Amino acid sequence: MQEVRQETKKNKRRISKPVGIALFYMVCAATAAMVILHNNPLADKPTEDLKKICACALLLLACTIFGIYYDRIFIIPKELFQNRELIWKLAKNDFKKRYAGSYLGFLWALVQPVVTVVMYWIVFDVVFDTRSQMVASGVEVPYVLFLTAGLVPWFYFSEGITNGTNALLEYSYLVKKVVFKISILPIIKLVAATFIHAFFVGVLLIIAMMYGYMPNLYTLQIFYYSFCLFVLMLAMSYCTCAIVVFFRDLAQIINIGLQVGMWATPILWNIGMLENYPKLRVLFKLNPLTYIVNGYRSAIYEESWFFEHFYSSTYFWIFTVTLFCVGSLIFKRLKVHFADVL
């Protein structure tokens, strides 16, 4: 009798499908209203109109997908929440297992990124004598700080996408178990990558303090932008990990894409350099990682809040939520065939 009561309470707590869809539509409608009513008198009007059209189109696409495939999309967040303790345990085990048997252990995860930062610093700051880098807000900062603030989120993204894509292949023995929720495998890899990312955020803060940029309230935005990047990687991983099971070449394509993406994202260069090329500037801003990289820099030394970048924040979340909906559909559609292929 007690079990029946507990189950009844759980059912009452659950959001029904019509209510869930209605809430999502209300959020999208409110977002669309803010986008349409937002006005920046200093911006180029045709560019502003294009941004509004793109944002509303993405919102409409997200609403359509969410309304039609609500059950398939909603089940993944539900499974992640229900298995949160298992995810944490498996993520810690994954992190330990990755470097088991080596003398330096997890320190190997730090060596390559540190060497990369040092190499770029020597080339650009010493050889080419790039002592400072102008940022969008007009603040002049040392190039090594500018570079590190861009590389830290990029290393996180690169490792997260690579490992998330191969999650099902690496844990193929779990995929074949009927009772195991395989939807938690990609997020396990991302949580494991977050451990290393936390270390590099600490290194970034130390470098910033060495140049006189002390932590303040703006610095707390690193948690927000890290969360943004985590959700983006999760959305992409559900797409890639499902497809790579049937198309193994995707892993190599992603590696090439990461090499191109590093230069397509303003990590080594400043997007302010495109001030005289407004169309090209808008094109690069469509890259969601531009929002993340600029966000890390604004949290460290630009002293600006994320909500001050209205269109960038709105576009990022619309893009990410839409991608998550698409990724969830792909994952659930192909899920029944994973065990046969692996």
Residue 185 per-residue DSSP state: H
Question: What are the residues facing 140 on neighbouring strands?
Answer: 134
The answer to whether residues 67 and 43 touch, using CB atoms and an 8 Å cutoff, is no
Q: How far is CA 164 from the centre of its chain?
A: 12
Least confident of 106-110, 144-148, 179-183: 106-110
Tokens 């397509």: give the residue.
Answer: 264
Give the whole-angstrom CA distance, residue 215 versus residue 338. 46
What average pLDDT does the chain have?
82
Least confident of 160-164, 236-240, 273-277: 273-277
Q: Which two tokens stand for residue 41?
A: 């008198």
Q: Which amino acid is at 70?
A: Y
Least confident of 122-136, 176-190, 204-218: 122-136
Q: Which two tokens stand for residue 322?
A: 């839409």
What confidence category does residue 191 fall into, taking pLDDT thresholds of 50, 70 and 90?
Answer: very high
Give the whole-angstrom CA distance, residue 79 versus residue 331. 13
The pLDDT, as a whole number, for residue 12 is: 46
Q: What are the residues whose beta carbons fall under 8 Å from the beta carbon of 64, sequence distance 6 or more?
A: none
Compute the average pLDDT of residues 18-23: 80
- Whether 89 has a pLDDT exceeding 50, the answer reads yes
